[in-house]
């Protein structure tokens, strides 16, 4: 699918994302995370006791932004998306995603261990994505259904 390939291409080039979750009072909470990806799916980890993990346990909705490295505004590329985050619990999923992280960030090996209760791994599936590509003009966004 063309949309999945476009989303996956941006995700594979990026390293960090801003993840916004919904706090108990309805307000937004945004943090930067390093992530791994597989096609159009984004994976991130955080402490199981973090505000981010608590927010997602209550409400799985997220907003995500990824900006690829650029030298000037005419090169800005990235994505802005909304979706849902699911905590990974199966050993198979945790192991597979751990390998994705180690392939992208060798230093993460010290944090990724199967069954580690301190680390919560999440899979983000997008509902809608805006692909930013200023090479096609200032502010150019292509809106896609994921």
Considering just the CA atoms, what is the radius of gyration of the chain in Å?
Answer: 15
User: Taking the model in full, what pTM does it have?
Assistant: 0.90
Q: Which of 4, 29, 1, 36 is nearest to 131 (CA)?
A: 4
Q: Is the dihedral of CA 113, 96, 14, 60 positive or negative?
A: negative
Q: Kindly list the domain boundaries of the chain, sorted by start residue.
A: 2-145
Each residue's pLDDT expressed in tens, for the chain with a length of 146 residues: 468 888 999 999 999 999 999 999 999 999 999 999 999 999 999 999 999 999 999 999 999 999 999 999 999 999 999 999 999 999 999 999 989 999 999 877 666 554 455 889 999 999 999 999 999 999 999 998 76
Structure tokens at 44: 């991130």
SS3 per residue for 82-97 = EEEEEECCCHHHHHHH
| CATH number belonging to domain 2-145 | 2.30.110.10
CB-CB contact of 55 with 138 (8 Å): no
């Amino acid at each position: 699918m063309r949309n999945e390939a476009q989303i996956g291409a941006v995700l594979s080039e990026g390293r960090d994302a801003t993840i916004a979750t919904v706090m108990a009072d309805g307000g937004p909470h945004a943090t930067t995370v390093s992530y791994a990806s597989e096609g159009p799916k984004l994976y991130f980890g955080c402490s199981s006791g973090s505000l981010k993990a608590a927010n997602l346990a209550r409400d799985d909705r997220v907003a995500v932004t990824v900006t690829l490295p650029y030298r000037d505004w005419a090169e800005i590329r990235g994505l802005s998306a909304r979706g849902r985050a699911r905590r990974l619990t199966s050993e198979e999923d945790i192991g597979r995603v751990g390998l994705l992280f180690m392939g992208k960030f060798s230093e993460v090996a010290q944090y990724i261990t199967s069954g580690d209760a301190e680390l919560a791994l999440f899979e983000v599936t997008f509902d809608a994505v805006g692909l930013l590509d200023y090479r096609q003009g200032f502010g150019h966004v292509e809106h896609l259904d994921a």
